């Protein structure tokens, strides 16, 4: 945990930077070099949020984008397993964390700080400090997307994240059952309240694809997320089947999006990634950069 005790400040950091690093509520700072922070959230645990985050990140990288993945799921960090990085420990350079690299991604996981099987009892300030360092104290370099795998639900980590850095958009993962969908609505409302645009909703475990007969069974019902999206005016990013190949690849530490991109689950995730990226691009167009008047130019009426 050496990273948490370092008092060192980046060269050239202003007193405001130091204050913001100490008290996230005081300043929302963008991450130098990182163009879009994309949060992946779910209303509840076990819906496949980490699996989708990891494969979304790989799918984006396969399109040529520069992508980082930050695993902030304190309750069950699974990114080390998903990328065969179990046992990896954080290293640093110049007082900054160096991300691990796998499948073309830069990766930092809260799991890199934890001993295997140790209970995770993070007290608030400790956890927030870790998140702050993962965001602003890591050498992410130039990234088009930093994908953040959030813990399930609508707790402190979600709120702290949006207080610490601008979040360009959120992808919400759910399964088709009513119970999961009720929690999705809570997650969506939370992001709306804090001003983070929802890029869309992915329905995971949408149907079971039998590896023997390729038959399709709708174990958890069907169409729930699509319907909920229509009701809430959200983009539906598609249906990812429950597929044995996805579970096997995940356990083997080889994301399916890289190991077998033509498998139905990998294709569905790649489509969701492309649609989410398009939604982000559309937001960029709709939110023009503020215009700075030329020296001596009179601002237009109504503009300040």
Phi, psi of 299 (to 5 degrees): -60, 145
Q: 29-35, long-range: CB within 8 Å, 24+ apart, which pairs?
A: 29/136, 29/164, 29/165, 30/165, 30/166, 31/135, 31/136, 31/140, 31/146, 31/165, 33/140, 33/141, 33/142, 33/143, 34/68, 34/140, 34/143, 34/146, 35/143, 35/144, 35/145, 35/168
What's the per-residue H, E or C state across 177-210?
CHHHHHHHHHHHHHHHHCCCCEEEEEEEEEEEEC
Q: Which helix (H) or strand (E) holds 79?
A: helix 79-82
- Given the complex with ligand ADP, which of 76 and 253 has the nearer CB atom? 76
Alpha-carbon distance values, 59 to 24, 105, 176, 234 (Å): 31, 10, 23, 22
Cα-based torsion angle of the residue sequence 285, 290, 296, 301 in order, rounded to the nearest 10 degrees: 90
CB of 205 to ligand ADP, least distance (A): 5
- Given the complex with ligand ADP, which of 145 and 207 has the nearer CB atom? 207
Closest residue to ligand ADP: CB criterion: 48
CB of 7 to ligand ADP, least distance (A): 34
CB of 69 to ligand ADP, least distance (A): 13
CB of 44 to ligand ADP, least distance (A): 8
- Given the complex with ligand ADP, which of 20 and 82 has the nearer CB atom? 82
CB of 138 to ligand ADP, least distance (A): 22
CB of 200 to ligand ADP, least distance (A): 17
- Given the complex with ligand ADP, which of 142 and 218 has the nearer CB atom? 218
- Given the complex with ligand ADP, which of 43 and 169 has the nearer CB atom? 43
Q: Which residues bind ligand ADP (CB under 6 A)?
A: 42, 45-51, 76, 78, 204-205, 240, 242-243, 246-247, 250, 265
**CA-based angle 94:95:100, to the nearest 5?**
85
- Given the complex with ligand ADP, which of 78 and 165 has the nearer CB atom? 78
């Amino acid at each position: 945990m050496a990273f948490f005790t370092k008092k060192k400040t980046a060269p050239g950091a202003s007193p405001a930077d130091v204050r913001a690093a100490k008290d996230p509520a005081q300043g929302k700072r963008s991450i130098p070099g990182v163009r879009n922070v994309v949060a992946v959230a779910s209303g509840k645990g076990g819906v496949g949020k980490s699996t989708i985050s990891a494969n979304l990140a790989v799918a984006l990288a396969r399109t040529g984008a520069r992508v980082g993945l930050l695993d902030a799921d304190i309750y069950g960090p699974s990114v080390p397993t998903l990328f065969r990085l179990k046992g990896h420990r954080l290293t640093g350079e110049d007082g900054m964390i160096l991300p691990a690299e796998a499948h073309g991604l830069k990766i930092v996981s809260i799991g890199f700080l934890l001993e295997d099987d140790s209970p995770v009892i993070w007290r608030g300030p400790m956890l927030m400090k870790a998140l702050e360092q993962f965001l602003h104290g890591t050498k992410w370099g130039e990234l088009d997307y930093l994908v953040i795998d959030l813990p399930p639900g609508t707790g402190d980590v979600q709120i702290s994240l949006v207080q610490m850095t601008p979040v360009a958009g959120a992808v919400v993962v759910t399964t088709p059952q009513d119970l999961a969908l009720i929690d999705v609505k809570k997650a969506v409302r939370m992001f709306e309240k804090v001003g983070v645009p929802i890029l869309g909703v992915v329905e995971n475990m949408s149907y079971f694809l039998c590896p023997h007969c390729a038959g399709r069974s709708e174990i958890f019902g069907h169409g729930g997320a699509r319907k909920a999206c229509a009701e809430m005016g959200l983009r539906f990013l598609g249906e990812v089947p429950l597929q044995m190949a996805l579970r096997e690849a995940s356990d083997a530490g080889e994301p399916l999006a890289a190991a077998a991109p033509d498998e139905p689950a990998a294709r569905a995730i790649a489509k969701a990634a492309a649609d989410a990226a398009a939604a982000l691009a559309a937001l960029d167009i709709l939110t023009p950069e503020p215009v700075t008047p030329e020296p001596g130019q009179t601002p237009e009426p109504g503009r300040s």
